[in-house]
Amino acid sequence: MDQRPIGVFDSGLGGLTALRELRRILPREDLIYFGDTGRVPYGTKGRETILRYARQDVAFLRSFDLKAIVVACGTVSANALAELTAENDLPIFGVVEAAAQAAVRAASNGRVGLIGTSASIRSGAYEREIAKLDSAVAVTSRACPLFVPLVENGRFRPGDKVVELVVEEYLAPVKAAEVDALVLGCTHYPLLADAIGAFMGPGVALIDTGAVCAGHAAQTLGESGLLAERDRGFCRYFVSDSTQDFARLASVFLGETVRDSVERVEIEKY
């Protein structure tokens, strides 16, 4: 039993996909969420900048007495997880390994699609992890740099013509490869799942990286005896930019009001 909270971070809204799943499967856990909304997106940055941002995010979260951190960001997981793990003395979970495992299980025809930020695709991290699991699986990857700004601006609802146009532009070559599993390699992308699924068709399994990472973290913490025992956990939200904008969009996505619990952080101090 461990009553300490779990920290979760992302460049913005995307990590709420992992947070939502953690709250569903671990309702007794206290959760601390940080969205680096002042510096989003990470996926267009160079690796050294991503690593610097990630270290600051972790330093802020570690100002709380945490038992684990979930890196609910595909870009950070693909580019900086090894350094973060080596530099910290608590469990740190990224999205790449769990997503790769889910993709290989779902790829009955041996063809996997992968979409992510430019930095994630450039890193090759997902492809390397998939190859370790099954070298026969063919991966068709595509960077989708406009997806994060769309989501951060609330453009993710079904029927949005701009979203549908961008989805078609990015995913046409992935669909042409006849994949039967598609890794949503950024935790922002599940917010676009309706539009992505409609374009790809019903035979393609969409791998929600945030959700599978949350499941992996929950299983590992449970096996290590680190889960909390309380009636119900709380959730605190921190951002590096406007609390009102984050609260408005997060409330839509989570289906509950979070306005009173969002606080702003000067992340550059960490």
CATH code of 36's domain: 3.40.50.1860
Please tell me whether residues 88 and 216 are part of one structural domain: yes
What are the tokens at 189? Answer: 């992308």
**Residue 73 annotated to the active site:** yes
Q: Would you state the pLDDT for residue 259?
A: 66
Please pick, among 144, 186, 213, 235, the residue that the annotation labels catalytic: 186
Digitized pLDDT (tens) for each residue of the chain, 270 residues in all? 899 999 999 999 889 989 999 999 999 999 999 999 999 999 999 999 999 999 999 999 999 999 999 999 999 999 999 999 999 999 999 999 999 999 999 999 999 999 999 999 999 999 999 999 999 999 999 999 999 999 988 899 889 999 999 999 999 999 999 999 999 999 999 999 999 999 999 999 999 999 999 999 999 999 999 999 998 999 999 999 999 889 888 887 787 788 668 999 999 999
Please tell me whether residues 217 and 193 are part of one structural domain: no
**What is the arrangement of strands in the sheet containing 205-208, beginning at the earlier edge strand?**
138-143, 111-116, 181-184, 205-208
Backbone CA torsion sign across 238, 62, 6, 153:
positive
Among 209, 229, 250, identify where a domain stops: 209
With respect to residue 113, please indicate whether it lies within any of the assigned structural domains: yes
With respect to residue 170, please indicate whether it lies within any of the assigned structural domains: yes
- As to burial, measured by CB atoms within 10 angstroms (0-12 exposed, 13-18 middle, 19+ buried), residue 1 is exposed
% of the chain beyond a pLDDT of 90: 89
Q: Which residues contact 238 (CB under 8 A, 6 or more apart)?
A: 32, 33, 34, 35, 60, 262, 263, 264, 265
Global pTM exceeds 0.75: yes
Please tell me whether residues 80 and 133 are part of one structural domain: no
Please pick, among 73, 144, 213, 235, the residue that the annotation labels catalytic: 73
Q: Would you state the pLDDT for residue 266?
A: 97
Q: What is the 3-state secondary structure (H, E, C) of 1-53?
A: CCCCCEEEEECCCCCHHHHHHHHHHCCCCCEEEEECCCCCCCCCCCHHHHHHH
With respect to residue 187, please indicate whether it lies within any of the assigned structural domains: yes
- Average pLDDT over the chain reads 94
With respect to residue 240, please indicate whether it lies within any of the assigned structural domains: yes
Among 171, 194, 209, identify where a domain stops: 209
Query: Maximum distance among all alpha carbons in the chain?
Result: 50
With respect to residue 181, please indicate whether it lies within any of the assigned structural domains: yes
Q: What is the 3-state secondary structure (H, E, C) of the chain?
A: CCCCCEEEEECCCCCHHHHHHHHHHCCCCCEEEEECCCCCCCCCCCHHHHHHHHHHHHHHHCCCCCCEEEECCHHHHHHHHHHHHHHCCCCEECCHHHHHHHHHHHCCCCEEEEEECHHHHHHCHHHHHHHHHCCCCEEEEEECCCHHHHHHCCCCCCCCHHHHHHHHHHHHHHHHCCCCEEEECCCCHHHHHHHHHHHHCCCCEEEEHHHHHHHHHHHHHHHCCCCCCCCCCCEEEEECCCHHHHHHHHHHHHCCCCHHHEEECCHHHC
Q: What is the pLDDT of residues 158-183, one digit of tens each?
A: 899 999 999 999 999 999 999 999 99
- Could you give the number of structural domains in the chain? 2
Please tell me whether residues 37 and 124 are part of one structural domain: no
With respect to residue 1, please indicate whether it lies within any of the assigned structural domains: no
Q: Supply the range of the domain harboring residue 181.
A: 96-209
Q: What is the pLDDT of residues 11-54, one digit of tens each?
A: 998 899 899 999 999 999 999 999 999 999 999 999 999 999 99
Please tell me whether residues 143 and 75 are part of one structural domain: no
**Residue 213 annotated to the active site:** no
